[in-house]
């Protein structure tokens, strides 16, 4: 109770000082007449701290006992981070390194845009992004059995679907927590929705519509070992029914490793080498690649580089990474018969199909199924699909949200794809920040000293004035820190406005509406 009173008092101070202004709530008539205005994040992971065995990711998006309990480092990162080999490797490319493990209240070394194992989406940071204009957020429940098995510390089993269920429970616990702070059930700004009508109502009322999705490597246990599937059509039907009942409306068919449903789009570089080792451990074989002959291709499998000892020792004696034919590389595996059955099952249930992480062979086959069914429910949410497929996605009525690149690169891709959106009359654009997804958040813009974001600045609709974000003793500045945590997303959008003007802001502010139109068209195709 004391924690809630303190939070309310702090919000009141912000309102009085003009640092933060509550978003306006449209009248009922305005909600009916007007399109939703606001941003869409098509791909993030607020609850991934419970994935991968529950001890790889440090910190939580909230704790009922307060921020001082939520934002603490992992036990194995103390006293100075030198034992945090996975954090060090993903941040610097080497398993050695140090960092200050103290989070609250000093936050000297984390969160940071390039620190991939520390919590970046504490709920008050998400709240700042919502106040700055976020209206739809797709929260992907995430799991990876092989990464869980590789990491030596864990408090949960590595069963992927158990992890998915736990994260869905945590999402509803956070909704209840925010409701309690906001006056009671249904009163909070964080609203989990399972249909587009409720999503539109929530977003039009100025709150945040949260859609549950799934990004996992072996959905419903559908792994394959030496080409032999380990699941059945009955398992797929039971799994889809359970997830639909849980509120999931968007799903990946495969992710990182080949499974019994489809082949994956490769990772590159040293990270690719590590994932390829995981593919061997998960399936009994390394990725199989050929030289592509068409315009679409998967990511290039680069020479392995140096594997960290913790990964290299997992290879069987005498086994090394394979050599591959000349690039461009294409995975020889596409959509399997079970994968086809899963896509058709998602169509029957009115669920949105994620094509990111599919091999180009699998993505082309999946788009063919959707085109034959004239099914609009297709999403590329974080720049893991070949851009040559974008026209087919838009022609179906699907949605594309770009990965959270730095300001310059995001603007460049927005400009490159603008003619395609105009051709297909797509009303808006979005981003897939992939927060807590082990991908870097936007770095500070190079050369920003010449035209920096100046504080305070107004949100896109003028309803909020945002000064530098402060949590505990730490103050963040997007010019210096980039998007160190989710709360700095409005600052990142302001930075892009400086580069590209109001046009990019208008497109992004139409992103929520664009996503909702795709979802509405998709849900209308659900079979009774």
CA R_g for the chain: 22
Residue pair 51/57 in contact (Cβ under 8 Å)? The answer is yes
Q: What is the pLDDT of residue 31?
A: 38
Residue pair 401/507 in contact (Cβ under 8 Å)? The answer is no
Q: What is the pLDDT of residue 320?
A: 84
Residue pair 61/122 in contact (Cβ under 8 Å)? The answer is yes
- Tokens at 421, concatenated: 């959106």
Rounded Cα distance between 440 and 8, Å, is 32
> For 260-286, what is the mean pLDDT?
91
- The DSSP string of 224-256 is EETTEES--HHHHHHHHHHHHHHTEEEEES-BS
**Considering only 39-48, 112-121, 313-322, which range has the smallest mean pLDDT?**
313-322
- For residue 317, which phi and psi values (nearest 5 degrees)? -55, 135
**Span 320-360, pLDDT tens digits:** 888 999 999 999 999 999 999 999 999 999 999 999 999 99
Residue pair 257/278 in contact (Cβ under 8 Å)? The answer is yes
The β-bridge relationship of strands 378-380 and 352-354 is parallel
**Span 275-334, pLDDT tens digits:** 899 899 999 999 999 999 999 999 999 876 667 777 888 888 888 888 999 999 999 999
Q: What is the pLDDT of residue 125?
A: 98
Q: Is 468 exposed, middle or buried (0-12, 13-18, 19+ CB in 10 A)?
A: middle
User: How many other CB atoms are found less than 10 A from the CB of residue 417?
Assistant: 18
Q: Which residue has the tokens 């580069």?
A: 499
Q: What is the pLDDT of residue 272?
A: 86
Instruction: Select from 112, 13, 20, 16 the least CA-distant residue to 490.
Output: 20
**Span 458-485, pLDDT tens digits:** 999 999 999 999 999 999 999 999 999 9
Angle between helices 123-131 and 489-500 (to 10 degrees): 40
C-alpha pair distances (Å), 217 with each of 251, 260, 394 = 11, 10, 26
Looking at 284-381, list the stretches that DSSP marks H as alpha helix, in order from N- to C-terminal side.
309-312, 337-348, 360-373
Q: Which residue has the tokens 């099914």?
A: 375
**Span 210-222, pLDDT tens digits:** 999 999 999 999 9
Rounded Cα distance between 474 and 414, Å, is 32
- For residue 49, which phi and psi values (nearest 5 degrees)? -60, -20
* 128 — pLDDT class (breaks 50, 70, 90): very high
Instruction: Select from 430, 445, 426 the least CA-distant residue to 382.
Output: 430
Q: What is the pLDDT of residue 306?
A: 67
User: How many other CB atoms are found less than 10 A from the CB of residue 255?
Assistant: 24
Q: What is the pLDDT of residue 181?
A: 97
The full set of domains in the chain, from first to last, is 40-54+120-260+333-523 (3.20.20.140), 269-331 (no CATH)
Q: What is the mean pLDDT of the chain?
A: 92
pTM for this predicted structure: 0.92
The gap between the terminal CA atoms of the chain, to the nearest Å, is 45
Rounded Cα distance between 501 and 511, Å, is 17
Rounded Cα distance between 151 and 278, Å, is 12
Rounded Cα distance between 428 and 399, Å, is 9
Alpha carbon 8 to its chain centroid, in Å, reads: 29
Rounded Cα distance between 214 and 62, Å, is 21
Residue pair 363/340 in contact (Cβ under 8 Å)? The answer is no
Rounded Cα distance between 397 and 522, Å, is 9
Q: Show the 3-state SS of 252-291.
A: ECCECECCCCECECCCCHHHHHHHHHHHHHHHCCCCCEEE
Rounded Cα distance between 139 and 132, Å, is 18
Q: What is the pLDDT of residue 309?
A: 78
Q: What is the pLDDT of residue 99?
A: 97
């Amino acid at each position: 109770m004391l924690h809630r009173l303190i939070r309310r008092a702090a919000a009141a101070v912000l309102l009085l000082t003009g640092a933060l202004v509550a978003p306006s709530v449209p009248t009922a008539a305005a909600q009916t007449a007007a399109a939703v205005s606001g941003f869409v994040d098509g791909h993030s992971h607020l609850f991934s701290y419970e994935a991968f065995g529950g001890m790889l990711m440090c910190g939580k998006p909230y704790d009922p006992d307060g921020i001082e309990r939520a934002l603490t480092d992992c036990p194995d990162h103390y006293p100075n981070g030198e034992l945090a080999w996975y954090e060090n490797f993903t941040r610097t490319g080497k398993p050695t390194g140090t960092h200050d493990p103290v989070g609250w209240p000093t936050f000297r070394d984390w969160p940071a845009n390039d620190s991939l194992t520390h919590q970046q989406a504490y709920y008050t940071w998400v709240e700042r992004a919502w106040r700055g204009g976020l209206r739809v957020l797709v929260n992907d429940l995430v799991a990876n059995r092989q990464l869980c098995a590789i990491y030596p510390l864990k408090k949960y089993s590595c069963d992927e679907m158990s992890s998915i269920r736990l994260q869905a429970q945590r999402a509803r616990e956070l909704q209840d927590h925010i409701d309690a702070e906001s006056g009671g059930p249904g009163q909070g700004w964080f609203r989990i929705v399972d249909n587009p009508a409720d999503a539109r109502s929530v977003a039009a009322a100025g709150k945040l519509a949260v859609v549950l999705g799934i990004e996992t490597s072996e959905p419903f246990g559908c792994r394959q070992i030496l080409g032999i599937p380990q699941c059945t059509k009955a398992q797929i039907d039971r799994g889809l029914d359970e997830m639909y009942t849980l509120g999931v409306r968007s799903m990946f068919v495969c992710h990182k490793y080949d499974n019994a449903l489809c082949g994956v789009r490769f990772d590159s570089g040293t990270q690719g080498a590590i994932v390829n080792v995981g593919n061997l451990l998960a399936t009994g074989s390394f990725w199989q690649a050929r030289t592509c002959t068409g315009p679409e291709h998967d990511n290039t499998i680069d020479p392995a580089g140096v594997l960290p000892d913790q990964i290299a020792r997992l290879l069987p004696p005498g086994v090394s990474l394979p050599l591959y034919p000349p690039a461009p590389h294409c995975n020889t595996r596409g959509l399997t018969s079970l994968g086809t059955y899963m896509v058709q099952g998602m169509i029957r249930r009115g669920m949105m199909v994620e094509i990111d992480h599919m091999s180009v062979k699998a993505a082309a086959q999946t788009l063919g199924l959707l085109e034959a069914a004239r099914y609009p429910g297709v999403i590329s949410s974080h720049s893991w699909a070949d851009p040559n497929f974008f026209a087919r996605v838009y022609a179906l009525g699907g949605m594309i949200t770009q990965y959270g690149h730095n300001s310059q690169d995001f603007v460049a891709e927005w400009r490159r794809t603008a003619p395609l959106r105009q051709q297909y009359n797509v009303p808006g654009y979005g981003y897939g920040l992939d927060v807590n997804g082990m991908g870097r958040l936007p770095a500070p813009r190079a050369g920003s000293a010449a035209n920096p974001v100046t504080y305070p600045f107004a949100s896109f609709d003028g309803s909020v004035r945002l000064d530098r974000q402060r949590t505990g003793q730490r103050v963040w500045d997007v010019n210096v820190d980039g998007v160190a945590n989710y709360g700095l997303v409005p600052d990142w959008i302001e930075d892009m406005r400086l580069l590209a003007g109001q046009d990019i802001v208008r497109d992004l502010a139409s992103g929520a509406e664009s996503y909702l139109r795709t979802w509405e068209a998709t849900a209308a195709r659900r079979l009774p």
